[in-house]
Chains A and B, each alone.
Chain A
Amino acid sequence: MPLLEVRNLSVTIPTPEGDVHAVRAINLEIEKGEIHGVIGESGCGKTMTGMTLLGLAPKGARIVADSLHFDGEDLSKNAERLRGRRIGLISQDPAAALNPVLSIARQMDDVLRAHRNMSRQARRAEASSLLAATGLPDPQRVLKSYPHQLSGGMQQRVVIAQALATGADFLIADEPTTALDVSVGAQVLALLRKLVSDRGLTVLMITHDMDVIAEACDRVTVLYAGLSVEVGPVGEILQQPGHPYTQALLAALPDAAPHGARLAAIEGSIPPPRSGIEGCAFAPRCPKAMPVCARQVPPKRLAEAHRWLCHLPASAP
């Protein structure tokens, strides 16, 4: 049984101007110990999926799923209890995720106090060792600092240390490197890999960046317009993407294009989140679209260990 099993999740947010379909039909299966990437353009529902798993979807959102289970527990009922105990968040912008007016010591201590029954000194020592575990060189000094006194990379390490402090074994990392320099981002990814292997963590890595997938993830789920359209091991998907959208994403990578050639941007835009979808959601932008794509929901295709949804048969890469 996978650690996280999400089947056919939809999240709808009612607004005065009509329902917003933030997530339409997403499937996720995440095995213990893997780093599972979730990739897609902004507006594809990846952050909303993460927030739903944490029980932090906006008030009034309608959440429907055939299955929404974490380690056998129903998340639609227990998300709030599991949040911060087993499921942690590493958010996009570490500068915004840390409280600007509280010292790091205070922010670490608050987390430890909420989750562990320890004495004051023990908490202090634990905070220091957790910071050290994230590769921060001088934990004592970091503890005394305020967020604005730390660099972006250091801030992100503190955020990771906080997530570890909760004792969570499943981390949702929402674009953890977007706000950082490329080299610092690579270090943070390496740190996450190390923590996964050292501590047996599982990570859901939300990103819009194929490089992050290639660098850090074991498997990946591709989202488009609130739907999961392809899933499989990273190596396979990078080599032989099945879904035309995934192919387009890979073609849009800078190093995929020959030197000097124009980047292959994907023409068009995602379907508006307020409207319904008929047939294949990607059809209007798909270079290989056929008449059937606009009418019928695409069938499941299989090749080796990965699956996708498309009217085109599997043999045509």
Chain B
Amino acid sequence: MELVRYILRRTILSTFVVVGVTFLVFIVAQVVPSDPAALYAGPRPTAEQIEKARQELNLDAPLAERFVTFAKAMAAGDFGVSYKSRRLIADDLRAYLPATLELAIFSTGLALLIGIPLGVLAAARQGNWPDRLSSLGSIAAVAMPTFFLAMILQLIFAQWLGILPLSGRLSREISIAAPLPMITGFNLIDAVLAGRIEVVGDALKHLILPALTLASYPAGVAMRLTRSAMIEILERRHVTAARALGLSEPRILFGHALPNAMGPALTVIGLSFAYALTGAVLVEIIFAWPGLGRYVSEAILAKDFPVIAAVTMVVTICYVVMNLLIDVAQALVDPRVALS
């Protein structure tokens, strides 16, 4: 019962947050820039064109009215038209969002897969070299600028070793000669659905470097959080009891102690997902990944505010929903969360 009330309360709060987010995006995208009409009217506009744009954008209406119009449009999934390409932004988002989500989900998985076992290992060998080495690695991972790491990985794995592609989402032979049908937009899933297993390998190869880049920071954080949580858990009585019952050490570490560290692990999922969504802006440029990040970075150069606003809205809503799901999951794992 508490759980239901907790979920309800969190959902309502999240809804308020989304309204606030919409308002903030509206202010920043439509009020702060000095002259949106001039931008909308295109390069070197005449005074007449600007005036026409003003009317089209309804810039002379009162702020409150403009916000309501904006919010209604957002809620309906109508993000307007790109200043630059004059295409419907909603169409672009449909094409780019899956690419970014695929990258974000894959890198989150990677971060957990790297960070959590390392954290467990570091806690089990506290003070020994595996602990020191992974602690050092996690500090370095946190301090590394994303865009620089991306370039280093490209240099090592694509240029020197030549084992992974430099950039892109699929090889040319596939994307141009025999493109995948767009079903979900997730290449890995679409390839399976289309029954083209060879494409799965190609898509995975393209995913590894950008995902690794995005995973490094959250993996470092995951390692630190897991380590400190595990050190505390390994001192608990039930771990001694499990040892006295003759369970093997790996079984105790991963089967008994680690499930008690689910809280930190869930926190890392949220953090990692958020990091991947924003880091995508930097990483997608470098890896020519056709996602929201590259889309928005091109919009920045063109001062294409509707695009920037739309991407910010969509990504933030993904983020809010993700956080809501994590909070609920946390309450399910540990009922005490819902009571506080």
Cross-interface CB contact of A91 among B237, B246, B255, B333, cutoff 8 Å: B237
- A114–B236 Cα distance when bound, in Å, is 21
- A100–B233 Cα distance when bound, in Å, is 11
Q: Report if B251 contacts A (CB, 8 A).
A: yes
Q: Report if B321 contacts A (CB, 8 A).
A: no
| CB neighbours of B245 from chain A (8 A) | 84, 88-89, 110-111, 114, 162-163, 165-166
| CB neighbours of B238 from chain A (8 A) | 96-100
- A83–B242 Cα distance when bound, in Å, is 11
Q: Report if A257 contacts B (CB, 8 A).
A: no
| CB neighbours of A93 from chain B (8 A) | 237
- A98–B243 Cα distance when bound, in Å, is 12
| CB neighbours of B259 from chain A (8 A) | 99, 101-102
| Distance from B158 Cβ to chain A, minimum over Cβ atoms (Å) | 43
Q: In the complex the two chains form, is A83's CB within 8 Å of B241's CB? A: no
Q: In the complex the two chains form, is A84's CB within 8 Å of B244's CB? A: yes
| Distance from A148 Cβ to chain B, minimum over Cβ atoms (Å) | 9
Contact residue range for chain B?
A: 20 to 34
Q: Report if A85 contacts B (CB, 8 A).
A: yes
Q: In the complex the two chains form, is B242's CB within 8 Å of A99's CB? A: yes
Asked, given contacts A93-B237, A99-B259, whether A88 binds B244 with beta carbons under 8 Å apart, the answer is yes
| CB neighbours of A83 from chain B (8 A) | 243-244, 246
| Distance from B243 Cβ to chain A, minimum over Cβ atoms (Å) | 6
Q: In the complex the two chains form, is B246's CB within 8 Å of A85's CB? A: yes
| Distance from A7 Cβ to chain B, minimum over Cβ atoms (Å) | 24
Q: Chain B interface mostly helix, strand, loop or mixed?
A: helix
Residue on B with the closest CB to A85?
A: B246
Q: Report if A127 contacts B (CB, 8 A).
A: no
Q: Report if B240 contacts A (CB, 8 A).
A: yes
Residue on B with the closest CB to A54?
A: B244
Interface string of B81-110 (1 = CB under 8 A from A): 000000000000000000000000000000
Residue on A with the closest CB to B259?
A: A101
Asked, given contacts A84-B247, A166-B246, whether A97 binds B241 with beta carbons under 8 Å apart, the answer is yes
| CB neighbours of B242 from chain A (8 A) | 99, 110
Max chain A C-beta neighbours (<10 A), residue from B246, B256, B259, B260: B246
Asked, given contacts A100-B260, A101-B333, whether A89 binds B251 with beta carbons under 8 Å apart, the answer is no
Q: In the complex the two chains form, is B243's CB within 8 Å of A102's CB? A: no
Q: Report if B262 contacts A (CB, 8 A).
A: yes
> In residues 60-104 of chain A, which contact B (Cβ within 8 Å)?
83-85, 88-89, 91-93, 96-102
Q: In the complex the two chains form, is B243's CB within 8 Å of A56's CB? A: yes
- A102–B256 Cα distance when bound, in Å, is 8
- A88–B246 Cα distance when bound, in Å, is 8
- A102–B251 Cα distance when bound, in Å, is 13
| CB neighbours of B340 from chain A (8 A) | none
> In residues 135-178 of chain A, which contact B (Cβ within 8 Å)?
159, 162-163, 165-166
Q: Report if B248 contacts A (CB, 8 A).
A: yes
Q: Report if A194 contacts B (CB, 8 A).
A: no
Residue on B with the closest CB to A82?
A: B246
| CB neighbours of B248 from chain A (8 A) | 114
Q: How many A-B residue pairs have CB under 8 A?
A: 69
| CB neighbours of B251 from chain A (8 A) | 110, 114
Contact residue range for chain A?
A: 20 to 34
- A102–B255 Cα distance when bound, in Å, is 9
Q: In the complex the two chains form, is B256's CB within 8 Å of A110's CB? A: yes
| CB neighbours of A102 from chain B (8 A) | 256, 259
Residue on B with the closest CB to A92?
A: B237
- A163–B243 Cα distance when bound, in Å, is 11
| Distance from A155 Cβ to chain B, minimum over Cβ atoms (Å) | 11
Q: In the complex the two chains form, is A111's CB within 8 Å of B247's CB? A: yes
| Distance from A24 Cβ to chain B, minimum over Cβ atoms (Å) | 24
| Distance from B52 Cβ to chain A, minimum over Cβ atoms (Å) | 64
| CB neighbours of B334 from chain A (8 A) | 101
Q: Report if A115 contacts B (CB, 8 A).
A: yes
| Distance from A251 Cβ to chain B, minimum over Cβ atoms (Å) | 33
| CB neighbours of A111 from chain B (8 A) | 245-247
Residue on A with the closest CB to B257?
A: A99
- A60–B238 Cα distance when bound, in Å, is 22
Residue on A with the closest CB to B333?
A: A101
| Distance from A266 Cβ to chain B, minimum over Cβ atoms (Å) | 29
| CB neighbours of B237 from chain A (8 A) | 91-93, 96-97
Residue on A with the closest CB to B247?
A: A114
The residues of B with any CB-CB pair to A shorter than 8 Å are: 236-238, 240-248, 251, 255-256, 259-260, 262, 333-334
The residues of A with any CB-CB pair to B shorter than 8 Å are: 54, 56, 83-85, 88-89, 91-93, 96-102, 110-111, 114-115, 159, 162-163, 165-166
Q: What are 16 A-B interface contacts by the 8 Å CB criterion? A: A83-B243, A84-B246, A88-B244, A89-B240, A91-B237, A92-B237, A96-B236, A96-B237, A101-B260, A110-B247, A110-B255, A111-B246, A162-B241, A162-B245, A163-B245, A166-B246
Q: A91-B237, A97-B237 are in contact. List 11 more A-B contacts (CB 8 A).
A: A54-B244, A56-B240, A84-B245, A88-B245, A89-B245, A91-B241, A92-B237, A97-B238, A98-B241, A100-B260, A114-B247
The 10 A-B residue pairs with the shortest CB-CB distance, nearest first, are A84-B246, A89-B244, A96-B237, A97-B241, A99-B238, A101-B259, A84-B245, A111-B245, A114-B247, A101-B260
